[in-house]
């Protein structure tokens, strides 16, 4: 028995290198596998501009500038790969850097192996770690900010933690508002509670946010404008009932964090069966010292994004909670093994580009653009997009055909995602192509929700010659 214990101790020093190796394979293999989607196209459009222009654009778009500034210089590194591959690689590097930070700052020795097993093959981390967005940079900075925040909470009189907390908090603010405000807000609320109930020092409570605000001074007005605009946005809703809407949103968030967003039927069924056991496992971990801070940050973050984005984009905005959620699931080895097996199945679907819950990530706009350009040639043509809630900016960047009415058009192309479009007057359909078939799970959901029109594919492209 002692020999097995000794072997296990020797194996521990290889946990981190093995995890990083697996992550490197999953994060960097075929970074051009998925097409560019709407938000990634925004990233591509922004980072090629001068820094002053970047600051103005992202400020008007309710985003802080640090990620785009760094990516602007990253894109200048001599590398023959396509720009989208380079910016996705940037995200992968931040994901692996987060792994190192979590290993040394957050994991107890008895949980390291189990956590790294879940974390290294997390379908949620792989999905967002291969996107040209700031999600994994937020992950890294959040793990650092919360670490110093916990140092303040564990020993509020320790002044040495004030400056690191304020500096890293400001860096996170310059990266994304939601995790920064959520984490800083949670730490400040807990410090306030301790100051009143336990007569702790007020110095960390007052000094840390003041330093953070001074460091963030150049962007404070932009932050104020972003919050004001966000409050005025129309709320996204799938269901008419607000309670049903929140239930859908929270279920989607929990499933994404646990098993990713590319589940086959077997993953959905097994995930549903495991749900009560997962809930029980989470409940039993209520004594974690950092749990109150994460719960408060989660509530702040959730309340911030539920009004701004649809349920399908909630996991991306709250990704900073993911590692702490997975830590809570590592108490039992059987749970880790079961979730790891299901995660592998979800990853298989991801790399085969199937079973995506959010179809916006796999819409082949490059293929659609090639078809339109090839079949149109030099003839005048017009494109009609009949696709509600769909960001077609990746398609727009690849086309020279205009969307506005064109009297001399010889061809009209119609792109729709509703399956019930009406042909333009005086035209006849000459060709129709369909893209991204709905899965069995999608079709079941359509029947369950009683959709009046139940298309077989996400997108349809139709060609109508006018002569």
- Number of residues that make up the chain: 467
Q: Can you give the pTM of this predicted structure? A: 0.92
Confidence of residue 96 (pLDDT cuts 50, 70, 90): very high
Q: What is the pLDDT of residues 46-64, one digit of tens each?
A: 999 999 999 999 988 778 9
Q: How high is the mean pLDDT of the chain? A: 89
The pLDDT of residue 234 is 67
CA distance 158 to 162: 8
The pLDDT of residue 430 is 79
Name 426's Cβ contacts closer than 8 Å, sequence gap at least 6. 466
Q: What is the pLDDT of residues 290-308, one digit of tens each?
A: 999 999 999 999 998 887 8
Name 23's Cβ contacts closer than 8 Å, sequence gap at least 6. 92, 95, 96, 99, 120, 129
Q: What is the pLDDT of residues 73-94, one digit of tens each?
A: 999 999 889 999 999 999 999 9
Q: Which two tokens stand for residue 289?
A: 């010292």
For residue 161, what are the CA distances in angstroms to 118, 169, 212, 316?
30, 12, 13, 29
Q: Are 218 and 355 contacting, i.e. CB atoms less than 8 angstroms apart? A: no
The pLDDT of residue 87 is 97
Residue 15 in this model has a pLDDT that exceeds 80: yes
CA distance 93 to 137: 9
CA distance 53 to 63: 13
CA distance 153 to 256: 30
Domain ranges of the chain: 2-357, 363-465
The pLDDT of residue 228 is 74
Q: What is the pLDDT of residues 250-268, one digit of tens each?
A: 999 999 999 999 999 999 9
């Amino acid at each position: 028995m002692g020999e097995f214990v000794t072997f296990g101790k020797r194996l521990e020093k290889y946990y981190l290198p093995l995890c990083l190796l697996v992550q490197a394979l999953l994060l960097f293999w075929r970074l051009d596998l998925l097409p560019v989607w709407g938000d990634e196209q925004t990233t591509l459009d922004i980072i090629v501009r001068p820094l002053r222009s970047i600051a103005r654009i992202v400020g008007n778009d309710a985003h802080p500038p640090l990620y785009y500034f760094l990516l602007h210089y990253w894109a200048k590194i001599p590398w023959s790969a396509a720009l989208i591959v380079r910016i996705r690689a940037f995200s992968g590097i931040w994901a692996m850097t987060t792994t190192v930070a979590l290993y040394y700052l957050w994991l107890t020795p008895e949980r390291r192996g189990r956590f790294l097993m879940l974390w290294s093959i997390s379908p949620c981390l792989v999905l967002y770690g291969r996107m040209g967005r700031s999600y994994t940079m937020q992950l890294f900075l959040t793990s650092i900010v919360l670490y110093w925040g916990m140092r303040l909470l564990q020993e509020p009189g320790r002044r040495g933690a004030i400056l690191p907390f304020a500096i890293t908090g400001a860096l996170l603010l310059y990266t994304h508002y939601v995790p920064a405000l959520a984490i800083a807000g949670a730490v400040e609320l807990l410090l306030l509670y301790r100051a009143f109930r336990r007569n702790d020092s007020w110095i960390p409570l007052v000094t840390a946010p003041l330093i953070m605000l001074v460091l963030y001074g150049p962007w404070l007005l932009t932050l104020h404008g972003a919050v004001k605009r966000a409050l005025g946005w129309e709320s996204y809703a799938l269901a008419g009932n607000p309670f049903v809407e929140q239930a859908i949103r929270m279920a989607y968030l929990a499933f994404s964090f646990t098993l990713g967003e590319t589940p086959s039927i077997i993953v959905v069924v097994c995930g549903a069966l495991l749900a009560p056991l997962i809930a029980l496992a989470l409940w039993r971990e209520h004594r974690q010292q950092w749990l109150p801070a994460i719960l408060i940050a989660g509530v702040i973050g959730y309340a911030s994004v539920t009004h701004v984005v649809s349920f399908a984009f909630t996991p991306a905005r709250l990704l900073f909670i993911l590692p702490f959620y997975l830590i809570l699931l590592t108490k039992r080895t059987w749970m880790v093994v079961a979730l790891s097996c299901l995660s592998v199945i979800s990853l298989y679907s991801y790399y085969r580009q199937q079973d995506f819950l959010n179809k916006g990530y796999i819409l082949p706009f490059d293929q659609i653009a090639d078809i339109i350009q090839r079949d149109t040639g030099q003839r005048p043509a017009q494109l009609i997009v009949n696709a509600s809630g769909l960001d077609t900016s990746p398609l727009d960047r690849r086309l020279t055909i205009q969307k506005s009415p064109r009297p001399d058009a010889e061809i009209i192309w119609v792109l729709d995602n509703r399956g019930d479009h009406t042909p333009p007057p005086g035209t006849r359909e000459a060709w129709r192509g369909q893209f991204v078939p709905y899965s069995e799970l999608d079709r079941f959901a359509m029947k369950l929700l009683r959709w009046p029109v139940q298309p077989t594919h996400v997108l349809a492209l139709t060609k109508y010659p006018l002569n």
